[in-house]
Structure 1
Amino acid sequence: MIGSLMAGVLTDKIGGRLVLASLAGLSCVALLFMAAIAELNITIVGLAIVGFTYGGTIAAYPAYLSHRFGVTLGTIVYSRVFTAWAIAGLLGPYSAGILFDIFQNYQAALMFAAFGAAFSFLLIQTKASKG
């Protein structure tokens, strides 16, 4: 909840690209730490950070897309983003379970999630550098 409130305000004040890139980068770092250091305290802090970034992301995307594409087209674009998000929400836990069955830990799933966050960060940065 704190992440969503902060991201909404920050999106209005400093822009959606910077907020979304920061959230993706922070999520990536937290996931990498959890993958590298399998300790309870790291996991608790990491999950809190990932929860914060998730809340921020879910608030920042609709605001940014509405600003970027306008209210009408922004809702259409967001419906596609939300559909992809739903598919990832279904496939992510299933894939993590498969990776757990193979490796008997969640490090590979955390690394895969970190890769996704890093890819998101790079896409946002690439788009930001083009205008």
Structure 2
Amino acid sequence: MVFDTILRGGTVMDGSGKAGFRADVGMLDGKIAAVGNLTDARARRILDVTGRLVTPGFIDIHRHADAAIFRPGFGDAELSQGLTTIINGNCGLSAAPSGGTYQAEIFDYLTPVTGPLEALMQTDSMGTYLQAAKALALPVNVG
């Protein structure tokens, strides 16, 4: 098997609570395909991560990125922090749905938290918001 990428020589922290262990991580088609001694394995790209931690992606379970996901470059800062998944609106404060009479009031309330709410963001129903969000090519998972 030829991997897309091998992370070679890092300390793997697998999230189980066990102590970290030295291993190589082989990735194929955007997924982890092997963990262990991959010294003899081939890859299109090999990164020496000796002295670094290799961890699962982190999940931010309380986020207000309702509007931010529509901004150019969204996800770059998140990925640099190890975030691969963010969850919006789980506290009941969300930009969608917010159409109709109270939309301007809700946007005024949310703007200090979310930043300016984008014109691209359709919020009259969750369906229209989610449809617009799905059309984005985001580098992180958004829920």
TM-score range, shorter chain: under 0.3
The structure whose residues are more often helix, as a share, is 1
TM-score by length of 2: 0.23
Quick check: which one's strand share is greater?
2
Q: Rg larger in 1 or in 2?
A: 2
